[in-house]
Structure 1
Amino acid sequence: MRTLVIGDIHGGLRALHQIFERAQITPQDRLIFLGDYVDGWSESPQVLDFLIQLQSTHSCIFMRGNHDELLCHWLHESKDNQMWYRHGGESTVKAYAKVDSKTKKRHVLFLQSLENYYLDNQNRLFIHAGFTNMNGVTSEHFPKLFYWERTLWETALSLDKSLGVDSLLYPRRLKLYKEIYIGHTPVTQIGETTPIQMACVWNVDTGAAFKGPLTVLDVDTKTYWQSDPLPDLYPNEIGRN
């Protein structure tokens, strides 16, 4: 059985179909989704429909992303959020204009069921954004940081590579887990479009919301498969660009 981790989808159902085909995903695989299923491209409702159906046939674990939380609040409370609207929510609001109330309720239940993090039996942590507590996720005082914070990735990214793990200066957060898999901050910000490892942190957000591809990574072999760049799959849309 493979354990496969999937980066931020951002409404790109066509890319999701591509990586399933290219990675030859089967019900024997365990699938861990890192969150941000919505906002950006035009098929956010369809992505959620796909994932809801998928969990009836495959072994799936779904993380909560910040965009998923924003959508959940909007669907559940019908409150405008201009910040969300400017950062990908506009395409989602337009897409939901064609969605019936029964489907919206089903989506709310799915979004409410998402996990803040997942820790497997090999001490590998899967989380959308990160955590701040020096004692790890179980001691985090501010759970929203699991899907909003960026300092874990910035710490790993800026770490002096000559610093040994046993050094007193080595960041404690980066010693707690064998590996940490995140999305949230696209690696396109550092000019990359493939999964990037810094210290024990693997960033699998390869910029699908913008001009990059969607990625699925085998956590044991580190083999990965990617979709076409999302603008090629949605040539008449702008995503979050």
Structure 2
Amino acid sequence: MSRFAISDIHGCAKTFEALLEQIALTKDDTLYLLGDLIDRGPGSKEVVDKVLQLQADGYKVECLLGNHEWLLLNAPYDDSRLINWLSRNGGAITLQSYGIQEDDFLSALPTDHAKFYRNLQYIIELEDYILVHAGLNFRDEDPLSDYTAMLWIRDWQKSMDTQVTGNRKIVHGHTPRALHYLEADVKNEKCMVFNIDCGCVYSGDHFKGHLVALNLDTLEVYSQENLEGLVLVP
């Protein structure tokens, strides 16, 4: 019985499938997906289809809201936000994966997908870990209630307060970085924060495009190079 965390799949359905094969997920395991399942990559619908199928088949899969799912849910209510999501944040290719148009797209989503997006959690608190998409704002009076920060914050790690977290480790994504940083972190016994976004959707000299799964019980890192053939640069 193992616990795995994956973040920032970004519509890379083939890569996600290959990583699932690597970890050999069983129905005794729990898989945590830390948001940004969609946008940028070509298979957002297929990623969510896979998650829903796993859940229907009896696999334990828990999912968090990422800033990209938040954008999908909220972009229709602000014209500038909608344009930004479609043109700069990969929203257009997400709608393409669904085969739907920009006008009133929320109502055009498959019912089970719309329900899935609306029911996503901001944070998962375990006995030994806190799982969140972007991180926690430790400058806030109650970091565990600053939901905006959970989706968007960056460069927060140095302000981490273990009294607030109950000495639990934090696992997050949102800010892509090269795989070797995570591989170094899991070898550091003092490390309390693990960023598992290794830039799956990106390519280039720095990222190489890796989707990773972190075994929360052993800190083993499973990595899968991007199979979508993307050439995105952050």
If the length of structure 1 is used for normalisation, what is the TM-score?
A: 0.79
Name the CA distance, whole Å, in 1 between partners of 2:7 and 2:126.
Answer: 18
Query: 1:25: how far off?
Result: 1.1
The correspondence for 2:217, drawn from 200, 220, 238, is 220
Name the CA distance, whole Å, in 2 between partners of 1:35 and 1:196.
Answer: 23
Name the CA distance, whole Å, in 2 between partners of 1:70 and 1:5.
Answer: 22
**2:10 alignment partner in structure 1:** 10
Aligned residue identity for 1:23 = I
Aligned residue identity for 2:210 = P
**2:206 alignment partner in structure 1:** none
Query: 1:23: how far off?
Result: 1.1
Partner deviation per Cα, 1:147-204 (whole Å, 9 max, x = no partner): 1111324x2xxxxxxxxxxxxxxx452453320000000113xx84745638410010
Q: 1:21 to 1:30 in 2, by over 3 A?
A: same
* Residue pair 1:40, 1:209 contacting (<8 A) in 2 also: yes
Task: Please give the residue correspondences for 1:202-221 in structure 2 after superposition, counting only pairs within 5 Å.
Answer: 202-211=194-203, 212-221=209-218
Partner deviation per Cα, 1:75-133 (whole Å, 9 max, x = no partner): x76967122121222211222225996753321210111110011123x1000011214
**2:148 alignment partner in structure 1:** 144
- Let me know the Cα RMSD of the aligned residues: 2.6
* Residue pair 1:195, 1:202 contacting (<8 A) in 2 also: no
Aligned residue identity for 1:117 = I
Q: 1:77 to 1:47 in 2, by over 3 A?
A: farther
Name the CA distance, whole Å, in 1 between partners of 2:143 and 2:42.
Answer: 33
Query: 1:137: how far off?
Result: 3.9
> Counterpart of 1:67 in 2: which secondary structure?
helix
Name the CA distance, whole Å, in 2 between partners of 1:6 and 1:69.
Answer: 18
**1:113 alignment partner in structure 2:** 119
**2:133 alignment partner in structure 1:** 128
* Residue pair 1:3, 1:29 contacting (<8 A) in 2 also: yes
Is 65-74 or 205-214 further displaced after alignment?
65-74
The correspondence for 2:161, drawn from 155, 166, 173, is 173
* Residue pair 1:41, 1:239 contacting (<8 A) in 2 also: no
Q: What fraction of aligned residue pairs are identical, expressed as a percent?
A: 26
Aligned residue identity for 2:29 = D
Is 91-100 or 26-35 further displaced after alignment?
91-100
If the length of structure 2 is used for normalisation, what is the TM-score?
A: 0.81
Name the CA distance, whole Å, in 1 between partners of 2:232 and 2:26.
Answer: 29
Could you tell me which runs of 5 or more consecutive residues in structure 2 were left unpaired when the two chains were aligned: 204-208
**1:20 alignment partner in structure 2:** 20
The correspondence for 1:96, drawn from 86, 95, 98, is 98
> Counterpart of 2:161 in 1: which secondary structure?
helix
Aligned residue identity for 2:197 = D
Query: 1:60: how far off?
Result: 1.6
